[in-house]
Amino acid sequence: MALHWVRDQDRLDGASNFAVWKAKILSVLDRNRVKNFALKVITIPIDPNDNDKYEEVMARTKCIILDRVKDHVVPLTKVHTDLC
């Protein structure tokens, strides 16, 4: 998955830019066909083949979101660096 460079001013910085950020992130998630993973509770599949796909899409969704949030809003963690 190729991630695109995100301008610093487009990242979530808190309540001050949340409404604009939300509109943009929903568009990005929709374009990447992973919006449901961010907006709904998704049941983890029992079938190992389906589970692999689930894990892949969930990791991509988290990465897309975390790359568009400033570090002081969500501290950079090992999970973030491992996913992206």
pLDDT digits (tens, 9 = 90+) for 52-69: 889 999 889 988 888 888
Look at residues 61, 68, 51 and name the one whose alpha carbon lies nearest to residue 6: 68
Tokens of 27: 């568009």
Which has more confidence, 66 or 74?
66
Model confidence band, residue 1 (pLDDT cutoffs 50, 70, 90)? very low
pLDDT at 4: 59
Cα(77)–Cα(81) distance, integer angstroms: 7
Cα(35)–Cα(22) distance, integer angstroms: 12
pLDDT at 76: 54
pLDDT at 2: 47
Look at residues 4, 13, 26 and name the one whose alpha carbon lies nearest to residue 69: 13
Lowest mean pLDDT of 3-7, 40-44, 73-77, 79-83, name the range.
79-83
User: How far, CA to CA in Å, does 4 sit from each of 1, 14, 73?
Assistant: 10, 22, 20
